[in-house]
A and B are shown apart, each in its own frame.
Chain A
């Protein structure tokens, strides 16, 4: 009977090996290379920690390190301050603005922070619209965008949804009976909150906060566009691009970034592990809600609208910038024009076509890999199959800057046959970087899809004469299609605005995608208009993508629910 297995498992085994090889070559080796170089003496080649010592001896690097830490921490604080009232309103009160708050949780995510950064400067900078008005009316200004403040401001407005979503989910998963039984046993008020609600909601909050911390800590585009260079990610980028790929400092920074990523992911996973606090029971649901009094309602709406204005300001600013003629020392642009869009479509179409090609290919590879990994992990008993999942997911812990440096270092002297060019500068490497970076998301989507399929549906097919392969094509993939499509769209939309790895790997203007184009344009005052126009296009890509993926998921969820049960005919 044992001879059965080799033949049945051959397909998955080959697929598993190919995937493992791909992950090894384009994730493990480059990251390993980065770590290796960081711990290697540049002249003698021996193992050393001298590079780290050098790093901390340098005052600029010390400052960058503390700045990155400070910015990430403060962003978590500000994002929490924004999220907490919103989460509280929706879970505690019968609040009419719930849909509005849910929208609030999505709007920021459809625009990468670096895209809106320059627009935010024009709105909130020292000579921006808001401060001009403040100065005019009240005679003072607020340094929203001064130095690190700007990064914190832009990042927390962009990333607070991670906390909002996790915290809301945690709160709404607390069953009313949890609270009622505490009251029944004599607890109430603050004490009840401290002993019951707070501990039950904590894991969700910590998971969200850890995610925000690391996203900000790793972000390259936002500080670069705000011209804040004394932070870790920009320093790594500048060292590698200005001094070259042999300078060890870039690698040291990369190792620090990876270490912090791992730490945050660990904290986040630790917070959620073994604490599946979904206590909602049948017919229950959520904490006790009460109606709002009139003045409370006014207060709630005021808070929500204030946050909404903040959240929309990058989008609004970007739109103004893309249609404005000259916008400087003024509340609004002097006049409006479509010239910037004309410029983009006449001279910079390669950014758009490149993005469609790169992000499309990356998303395609992602869902193919994601589907294959999901199948191998959940449907076969291949030895070590879990490691494919871990390996692909490990990409989450690798900041784009690190992957970029790793690729440059590893592939700069590997020539691609036929075109005779180093792999590191060939456009395909950008696609591979996007594929690796977005694979964890596509994979989760595919895994969720395959987990929803009862194994019995596959067994039924085999029982009726379909081989494993036929079953995959006729049952598994069709039933996964919703998840696969959602994974594709998510991968596509997020790959389209990937900047941190891309920025390091773009070898020439003609190969550059949208995100790089925005960065390029935004460098000069004259390019801001077309840059903003490109930004609007990018936002459209992501927004439409997110919407489509949302619709697909909703639809496939709905299709799974049995519709009305027709009366029994017997």
Chain B
């Protein structure tokens, strides 16, 4: 039973459950990844993101549920019949084979003619820019080169899906930025449905079209990076995707006005439309800090507090302001000649009302 939307999808995962012994690692995962999409699985370690990726490739304990690739259920196939190319975190290049032999492996297993193998291997090596290293051994290559060979070895079989398991984690910082651009470029060129596992939100943000945030084996939210950052569905996503101010309390109607009353008894005006919720979330860059007594427009919620601590981070100053017992973080763009507040100063905070998000938990 495959519906039409799923037919055109690159990867569809339906109600996937998986456990290691008594530990449930994946709990009812449902996901649709479009054909040609660059999709990231983002989550902390232990969230199940790598397990999910490995399940798609057919490794690890057998899950229950369905995995469809281009409309075909592959959940019952052994790894070697799935046609999903995986690049391993440690690259997993075979040390006893030359680069050329490594890249040719998948084609040889497919019983393709010698001539065609040579041609396709050359093309794949050329694509990652390492054709001249074809006769080297993996141990003679740098980390970045090994990474490229691993990529070439996988794309040469023209997989239906490309799986990348933390592909950048073993590279140094500069190379990582270069490599993620290269991977993205290659993916665009080949129009290859790609799933990328990472614990680094910056990596996920910069490369992926859309991403799924995972925690404790459950998909928390799926969407484009900016959407997820601006409209997190829950506190976990809000916190995982960047610094967030989270204040606990309840939504209260006061006459015609909607107010969020914090647990410590402070009122913060809200935009219309919210009925209930246990916490509000807003990001530090959506708050302005100014000397007390500054006038505020309707667009801002004004809070008064005392500077509790400050961190100078270069382009911004991050203040921690004690507002009635809750410490609110504020990112203030640092400009030459502008006044800097000191610890203990009394300040007003102007929170952009549009940026205040009310969440259930």
Contact = CB atoms under 8 A, between A and B. Distances in A.
Contacts of B153: 460, 464
Interface string A81-102: 0000000000000000000000
Interface string B63-89: 110000000000110111110111011
A463 B141 CA distance: 23
Contact of B85 (A464, A467, A563): A464
B143 interface: yes
A459 B78 CA distance: 11
A465 B110 contact: yes
Contact of A4 (B76, B86, B105, B140): B76
A568 B129 CA distance: 13
B88 A460 contact: yes
A570 B143 CA distance: 11
B80 A565 contact: no
B20 interface: no
Interface in A120-155: none
A58 interface: no
Contacts of A569: 142, 144-145
B141 A566 contact: yes
A479 B80 CA distance: 20
Contact of A463 (B62, B79, B139, B178): B79
Given A456-B92, A464-B105, A479-B95, A563 B140 contact: yes
A464 B178 contact: no
Interface string B201-229: 00000000000000000000000000000
Interface in A511-570: 559-570
Contacts, number: 103
A567 B85 contact: no
B32 interface: no
Interface in B87-134: 88-90, 92-96, 105-106, 109-110
Given A457-B92, A560-B95, A463 B142 contact: no
B175 interface: yes
A456 to B, nearest CB: 4
Contacts of A459: 57, 59, 79, 86, 88, 92
B321 to A, nearest CB: 43
A489 B266 CA distance: 81
B144 A464 contact: no
Contacts of B51: none
A454 B109 contact: no
A383 interface: no
Nearest to A564: B140
Nearest to A481: B96
B157 interface: yes
B88 to A, nearest CB: 5
Nearest to B140: A563
Interface in A452-479: 454, 456-457, 459-468, 470, 474-475, 478-479
B96 to A, nearest CB: 5
Contacts of A8: 78
Contacts of B59: 459, 462-463
B86 A463 contact: yes
B92 A466 contact: no
Contact of A467 (B78, B95, B142): B78
Interface of B: 57-59, 62-64, 75-76, 78-82, 84-86, 88-90, 92-96, 105-106, 109-110, 139-145, 153-154, 157, 175, 178-179
7 contacts: A8-B78, A456-B89, A462-B80, A464-B105, A465-B109, A478-B96, A562-B139
When A and B form their complex, which 7 residue pairs have the shortest distance between CB atoms, in order from nearest?
A464-B106, A465-B109, A460-B92, A456-B92, A462-B79, A1-B62, A463-B86
Given A456-B89, A461-B109, 19 more contacts: A3-B76, A4-B78, A8-B78, A459-B88, A462-B80, A463-B57, A463-B58, A463-B80, A464-B106, A464-B109, A465-B80, A465-B106, A467-B80, A468-B78, A470-B80, A564-B140, A566-B142, A567-B142, A570-B144
